[in-house]
Structures are given as C-alpha cells and as structure tokens.
Amino acid sequence: MRELELYFGPQHLGMVGNFSITLKVEGDRILKADANPGYLHRGFEKLIEQRTWMQNFPLVCRINVVEPDHMELIYSMGVEKLAGIEVPERGKFIRSIYCELARVGSHLFGLWAYSNMLGFDTVANWAMYHRDLVLDLFEELTGARVYHIYIRPGGVRRDFPEGFEDKIVKTLHTIGSKVPDYNATFFENRLFEKRAKNIGKITCEEAKKMGAVGQAIRATGMKYDIRKIEPYAAYDKVDWKVPTREDGDAYSRILVIRDEMIESVYMIFKLLDKMPKKGDVYTKTPNPFKWRVPAGEAYVRCESSRGELGLYIVSDGGDKPYRAHFRTPSYSHGLTILEKVLEGESIADVGNIMMSLYVVAPEIDR
Amino acid sequence: MKSLKKKLESSFSDIKINITDDSRITVNIKKDAVVSILNFLKNLGYEHLALISCIDWIEENEFELVYILSAYMEKDQEYNEKEKKTILVKTRISREESKFITVINIFENAEPYERELHELFGINFEGHPRLTPLFLERDYKIPPFRKDFDTRKYVKDVFDKIPSIEERKK
C-alpha cells in the first residue's frame, strides 16, 4: 500500500483544540506521528518578564484556558516562596476547596470534549451543563466565570459569601446524583469499552521513561500525586485516596478521571467540615506598585487536573520577575508520549488517544 | 538529604551544593560534568526530568541551564520522603558560543525541552536529532527569549510596515 502524509490539524473533525499532528500513514495505520504545536504561542513567559509581580495574574491564568485556577495557584505559590509569605489557615482551606471545584469543572469539560468526539452527544450535553453549574459557583464567588483571578500571593482575594458552603454542597449533590447515569450511558457502555480498551496503551516503565504525570501514570498503577507527595494548601489536613488503574490504556485513563472527580467531591465535603469557621483569608502584601521581591529562585509544584504542574521562577530583586518557566503536564504528554503512542494506531483513534492523554494545546504553547 | 550531599561531594569535584529547608537541593556544577551527574542521579532513582530551563544572565554574558529532577515512586508503593526531594542541577555556558550537549539518551522527554530552548534562546544542543522550529513561524535575528531582544522595537519594525486600510485603498 502507498505511504501518504496526512496533516491532522485543528480544522480536522477528529481533532480537539488548536494542535496539529503530521501523520505518515499507510492505509488506516499510522507509521509515524510528528506533533506540531505553536498555534497558541503567545510568548507569555517573555511578557511576564515585562510586568510587575501583581500585573501578571491576567496572563498566567490564560496559560491553561480550561482550568486557570491552578495556574493562579502555582504563580502565587512561587511568589510566596520567593517573598516568604505565609497563608492563613482559612485561606489554605479555601484554596483547596476552590482548586477541587476547578478540578471537577475541568474534568467535566474534558468529559465533554472526549464524549463529544466519540459521538456520545447526550453525555457531552450533561457534562457541559454540570460544568456550567460549577461555573455559576465561581461567578458568585469571584465575579467571573472562566478567568477568576481569585488566588493571590498570601491567600485568596476575599472570603466566601454568606451561605456559599451550602450552595457548594447543593451543586455537588446535583452533579453527584447523575453519576449512575454517566456510568450507564458512558463509562460502562459497551460501545465505549470497545472504543477505548487496549487503545493507546503504555506500561508503567514506558510512562516513567517518557516523563508521564497525572492520569497517564496513575492509569498504569503508580500513585504519583503531588497533593500527597508534597502537600500544599490544606491537602494534608483531610484524608483522601488516590484512584489508580492497572492497564494504562485510554479506558483506564478515563476511569481514573471519573474516580478522581468523585474523590474530589468527597474531599470538598471533608474540607468544608474541617475548615476553621473564622479567620483571615489573606496576609497583607506590600503596595503592588512598589513591591520588590527579594532576589532568589524557587521551584514550586502542584497537582493540576492534568498532572504535575511546576513553576521555576527567578527574581533579581526587582519589581518584575527575571524569568518564569512553567512546567506544564501536557508538554510531555502531547509532545513525547503522544508521538510514541500513536505509532501503529489507526487514524480514527488519534483524537481518542489525544483526549485520553488529556492534552490541552494552550498549555504546551504558553 | 545530607547523605545525598555527601555522595555527590565524594563523586564529583568542583561542585557546590546548597540545601534549602523545603526539600530542594541546588547543585552548581561545571558544564563538562553535567551528563555524568545526570546519569549518576538517574541511577540513584531521580529518573523524572521535570523541566529543562534557561536563564539569560546578560550582564555576566552567560546562560544558566537548569535541569530539574525528582523521583518517581515504585508501582503500588506508598509515599516516602524520596519523592519530596527536587534536585536542581545548574550549569553556566557562554552566551556567545551558546552550545551544549543533548541529554536525550538519558531522559527521553528532554527532546521537546531542548528543542524549545534552541528556538527561544538559540542554544545549540549537539547530537539532538531534530532542532526544527517548535512554536515560532518567523525567523528572528536574535532568538526572542534572550534579554537583548526588544519586543517593542520588533513590533515597530515588523508591523509598522504593514499599510493601514486607508493607505491600501489609495
């Protein structure tokens, strides 16, 4: 059969997001894949060097469009470490609750993209509706639906409004009561099992070699989770489990995502119970126009909904960062693992594998 | 933490190790020893390359390359102190020459990171199989993430030449 080159770009129906892959195919089989990012390169890391420490928030939250919250968190953690700022107890709990809500929202968005691409439109509509309910919570809390800019160095911008805890519980009960329906129509659906089982398989050893984090490595049986390894915010204050699977294929990755969502919901309930009822939510920081952060460097990491998210930040003692470099989970997933895993698979599974690896293009390009 | 410091100090000469309280170790080392120290750390179990970064110290006329390593746990194992540690291996290279050795044969996922640094900082990684453009589409005289690249001047030079709609109509 003849060998052809196929440009699998953002205009292709099987592609989700602004990302492209050049495929060498023979019939329906992929011989070689060449990932080609850059559609969303906005040079944020360069722009960050030209803005003051506080001015950078609108930039960092746009690095990952789907879940800006962890981006705010990681940048705040970096600045806090450089400047030696402590977060008050209640602020830590609010951060954790906020980030877990963001994880639920982001996983629902991922579920929308994945099920929509496989043709499960009903599930896609449910997921989008439930994500909207989470966004309603964010809107009440922060005033914005997508880019919240709620976390700031030293804590969070403001306290929960009155009765907000009850609203969180109510929304999560609404979403949680739909889990059996999700299971019946999607996760335990035989059509979906046939489509996702034994697709895009990686073993634990391969995953380690290629720098996998997040669901990609937890689906191979390793409990690698930064929230447990290096607890930040209030994750060490409550008891929770890290869901894992054994097979390392697309199906187990999606099931890990589902289990994680459920675990997040339980975790939010526990965090709400344990949260101190009163107290400051932020520490005062200097005037943002005159704020000079002491010279030094820091590497901070947290667990975003896609895996280990890191920030290497350097200050030269000025009013702007000297250098900031984000280690985003999609980078290794989308450029190293995707290229390797696609070899030998069929064209119809490109989007399937890419979404199961949970690749988000803006995170790669930055 | 201390035992790791001792091990490194006995195996490598010309090494400066700095331990910060929160489980971060910074290792400053000469550029010839980087490949061997990365191999050494990988054999000790620090097999997760989290990031390769670069800082442009323009006043000292040097680039600083930073390799950030951490450890994976074993399959089905619970958490212990080892995964908490992060090692930052740092080295300096000359800004004019701006070339270094690739570490792909040690860490597979170094490939896109080196490609990115080649494109944005103009560092040539010898032995890298494809140093092709990753993000950018235009050619730049100065790689854009270097400190002497003036974004405002570049925007003025490139985009001021595009005629406005009124001018195009004439």
List of chain A residues with pLDDT < 50: none
Q: Which positions in chain A touch B105 (Cβ < 8 Å)?
A: none
Predicted confidence (pLDDT) at residue B75 exceeds the cutoff of 80? no
CB contact under 8 A, B72 and A209: no
CA A243 to chain centre: 16
Given this model, what pLDDT does residue B109 score? 86
Predicted confidence (pLDDT) at residue B170 exceeds the cutoff of 80? no
Q: Which residues of B129-161 are buried (b: 16+ CB within 10 A; e: fewer)?
A: eebeebbeeeeeeebbbbbebeeeeeeeeeeee
The torsion of the CA quartet A168, A172, A173, A178, rounded to 10 degrees, works out to: 160
Q: Which helix (H) or strand (E) element contains residue B3?
A: helix B2-11
CB contact under 8 A, A335 and B112: yes
Q: Which positions in chain B touch A310 (Cβ < 8 Å)?
A: 50-51, 68
pLDDT digit string, tens, across residues B107-139:
888 888 998 889 888 888 888 888 888 888 877
Given this model, what pLDDT does residue B156 score? 85
Q: Which helix (H) or strand (E) element contains residue B24?
A: strand B24-29
- Cβ distance A300 to A107 under 8 Å? no
Q: How far apart are CA A102 and CA A266, in angstroms?
A: 14
- pTM for the model stands at 0.90
Chain A touched by B84 (CB under 8 Å): yes
- Alpha-carbon gap: A180 to the closest alpha carbon of chain B (Å): 29
Q: Domain boundaries in chain A?
A: 39-364
Reported ipTM: the value is 0.87
Given this model, what pLDDT does residue A130 score? 92
Chain A touched by B59 (CB under 8 Å): no
CA A82 to chain centre: 24
| Phi, psi dihedrals of residue A275, rounded to the nearest 5° | -65, 135
Chain A touched by B79 (CB under 8 Å): yes
Q: Which residues of A270-289 are buried (b: 16+ CB within 10 A; e: fewer)?
A: ebbeebeeeeebbeebeeee
Q: How far is CA B113 from CA A28, A31, A325, B110, in A?
A: 31, 24, 11, 5
CB contact under 8 A, A209 and B55: no
Given this model, what pLDDT does residue A208 score? 86
- Alpha-carbon gap: A178 to the closest alpha carbon of chain B (Å): 31
DSSP notation for B35-78: HHHHHHHHHTT--EEEEEEEEEETTTTEEEEEEEEE-PPPTT--
Given this model, what pLDDT does residue B141 score? 82
pLDDT digit string, tens, across residues A285-333:
888 888 888 888 889 989 988 888 999 999 988 888 999 999 998 888 8
Given this model, what pLDDT does residue B139 score? 78
Q: How far apart are CA B135 and CA B158, in angstroms?
A: 18
Q: Which positions in chain B touch A224 (Cβ < 8 Å)?
A: 72-73, 83
Given this model, what pLDDT does residue A355 score? 86
Predicted confidence (pLDDT) at residue B78 exceeds the cutoff of 80? no
Q: Which positions in chain A touch B24 (Cβ < 8 Å)?
A: 299
Interface of A with B (CB under 8 A): 37-38, 41, 43, 45-46, 50, 81, 204, 208-211, 217, 220-224, 228-230, 297, 299, 301, 308, 310, 312, 314, 322-323, 325, 327, 331-332, 335-336, 365
Chain A touched by B155 (CB under 8 Å): no
Percentage with pLDDT > 90 across chain B:
2
Given this model, what pLDDT does residue B80 score? 78
pLDDT digit string, tens, across residues B80-100:
777 778 888 889 888 888 888
pLDDT digit string, tens, across residues A157-215:
888 888 888 999 999 999 989 899 999 988 888 888 888 888 888 888 888 888 888 88
- Alpha-carbon gap: A358 to the closest alpha carbon of chain B (Å): 17
Predicted confidence (pLDDT) at residue B21 exceeds the cutoff of 80? no
Given this model, what pLDDT does residue A125 score? 92
Tell me the average pLDDT across B25-30: 86
Tokens of B97: 């020459």
Given this model, what pLDDT does residue B9 score? 73
Nearest to A38 among B50, B75, B136 (CB): B136
Predicted confidence (pLDDT) at residue B168 exceeds the cutoff of 80? no
For A39-364, CATH number out of 3.30.1490.480, 1.10.645.10, 1.10.1200.10, 2.60.120.580 equals 1.10.645.10
Given this model, what pLDDT does residue A129 score? 92
Given this model, what pLDDT does residue A286 score? 83
Nearest to A222 among B47, B72, B137 (CB): B72
